[in-house]
Chain A
């Protein structure tokens, strides 16, 4: 079955540590996205990539980094510079007119 996988589902880290969230898709989509979701704030775009080896900052990129070495994979690193990293992180991909996005199940990151 085609889809997007994110791992792990729950992640706990100590403050000051970098952490990498995985996102893999087998939909053959060119574009991939990372969103952050906080209660009552909807989804905010962190980074997006339209093609391999290229990516752009979204609205809240500070404290995050990404790579896109393969079409199927778009990992997100939450660095120690991110002031409030505790959140629900969603990965998505898309292709085609109308930009319908397919979302992964999400990773809930808790930093203490």
Chain B
């Protein structure tokens, strides 16, 4: 079985400051890893994903995440946040042997302070 833990339910951060949203997972098999973003009253959008290869993956809007197999983590970072980054962020994993299955964390709400 797999599980995903997002350690912070809410993260307040000042505009233009850096941010890290933490994600740890547990799995007995290898997994694919995802970060999704949900803006208020909308569906989820894929932010970035790790399938294989370089452990550092980047999105088009300045976010990046690093897969750390030894620590079973996939933390999301941005060096300078904007007010438009206000949203809820979900970490998720899919076991490689069951790609019909995806397990979501409970989400981290990012509050950008002016």
Chain B residues closer than 8 Å to A48, beta-carbon distance? 100
**A residues 1-33 in Cβ contact with B at 8 Å:** 4, 6, 31
Question: How many residues belonging to B are interface residues under a CB distance threshold of 8 Å?
Answer: 22
B104 an interface residue at 8 Å Cβ cutoff?
yes
Known: A40-B106, A97-B99, A99-B99. A105 touches B90 (CB 8 A): no
Query: B101: nearest residue on chain A (CB-CB)?
Result: A99
Does B63 reach chain A (CB closer than 8 Å)?
no
A residues 31-80 with Cβ under 8 Å of B?
31, 40-43, 48, 50
Q: Inside 8 A of B9's CB, which chain A residues have their CB? A: 40
A-B contact count (CB 8 A): 52
A43 to B92 Cα, complex, angstroms: 10
B residues with a Cβ closer than 8 A to A are 9, 32, 34, 36, 41-46, 49, 51, 90, 94, 99-102, 104-107
Query: A interface vs B, CB < 8 Å?
Result: 4, 6, 31, 40-43, 48, 50, 90, 92, 97-106, 108
